[in-house]
Amino acid sequence: MQATLILKHKINMLNETHDPSLTSWLESANDPAIGFPVQHLPFAVFRRAGRAEPYRPGVALGDQIIDLAQLAAIKPFSGLAAEALSTCTGSTLNALMALGNTYWTELRLALSRAVRVGSSLQAEITRVLIPQAQAEYSLPAHIRDYTDFYISIYHATAGGKISRPDAPLLPNFKWLPIGYHGRASSVVMSGHGVARPIGQSRPVRSDEAPSFGPSKRLDFELEMGMFVGPGNAQGTRISIDQADEHIFGLCILNDWSARDVQAWEVQPLGPFLAKSFATTISPWIVTREALEPFRLPFNRPATDPQPLPYLMNESTKQGGVYDISLRALMSTERSRAAKHPPALLAHSNLCHAYWTLSQLITHHTVNGCNLQPGDLIGTGTMSGPNPDQALSFNELSAGGTRAVTLPWGQERKFLEDGDEVILQAECIKHGYPRLNFGQATGKILPSI
């Protein structure tokens, strides 16, 4: 495939930046083990660790980061790419997110051409490279609002079996994407410690008072996080035909959950303190455009209700799903002392979602709710159909009724102090370079 060839599909537009044969003059970008090739180019906000310097946007290439603030000062691009780059000098990506798909595409194309073998800009880009090993990260956007959905039917059914064994899946699940409004102020960057929350827990008997204290059923949930690009005015809607262009990109998300607190407070208005104490995200935002080669058809069993017309179009049907592999791992204080590698708890894939990302955007705004650049939307726990695809301890331990045995002999039903959860994601496709999402990590600290 020639670098300038544009392939038109019913469901997407692959352009020259997706050419699998492209390589970079930076050798580490061509290493699949690193997973940041020229076809990737995800965004983050970073600074050099231990230095009193401002955070600023960067793009990953191999084991390096392209410092976009320094690059903007050089002014190597023209047109829309130059305008987009000029927004990458502050401490967040909100301004870039607000510009929209046309600007993102032009900036991605300019960066791609600049880092390929034979680029005339190699010397300029080399001067603004900073090793990833020397970086620390900040939240990539000012997150004004955070909404968490619930789009894995396997997760919804497994959780329902624990609390409602006779009717595990509520009937509305198959008709609309279910979500709740989360706490944007407690979204934290990967590596941030998570203090065990304190709250009320359900009493054993209905005539007893609830218990109060540190959560005994602290859990993780492996989700994907979606950052919104251009928003919509209050009172307007984003149609399913427009929804993709409002998606800037994806990251990994850990929706920490205190299950004992959740069980007591969830009725009648849904999650509150059980979720609001912390949500961890990974540093890198993988752009929607980078994910175009990993689209899959939307499949809904013929025996299930089909989405209402406002939630379905031909593009969604032909390629509304993304093939993104997910893995949840953990370590304990004992395992780290003995230098054991983290244990794999479960693995799954975003393709198991019952609803698509574009459907989440459309449903979120159908009542006139206004989204804003930098808003964060979670997918909900992305568990798959098999037992080893359960991406929370609540599912793995069947609500705490059976222990999970770790390779070094310890057992867990829920998380204990000192445990560290490591969530990872990647895109793998035969004949195409591997795209690494990085990871979202968090260690459980004692209650304050």
For the annotated catalytic residues, the residue numbers are 155
Contact 397, 403 (CB under 8 A): yes
| Cβ atoms within 10 Å of 76's Cβ, excluding its own | 18
CA separation for the pair 357, 294 (Å, rounded): 14
Encoding tokens for residue 141? 């956007």
CA separation for the pair 46, 234 (Å, rounded): 32
Chain mean position to CA 197? 23
Encoding tokens for residue 307? 């989405």
Which among 306, 311, 382 has a CA at the least distance from the CA of 153?
382
| Cβ atoms within 10 Å of 119's Cβ, excluding its own | 16
| Cβ atoms within 10 Å of 432's Cβ, excluding its own | 15
CA separation for the pair 436, 23 (Å, rounded): 16
CA separation for the pair 144, 130 (Å, rounded): 29
CA separation for the pair 61, 418 (Å, rounded): 33
Give the residues across from 424 on adjacent strands. Answer: 327, 439
- The residues near 290 (Cβ < 8 Å, ≥ 6 apart) are 17, 39, 40, 41, 42, 108, 249, 435
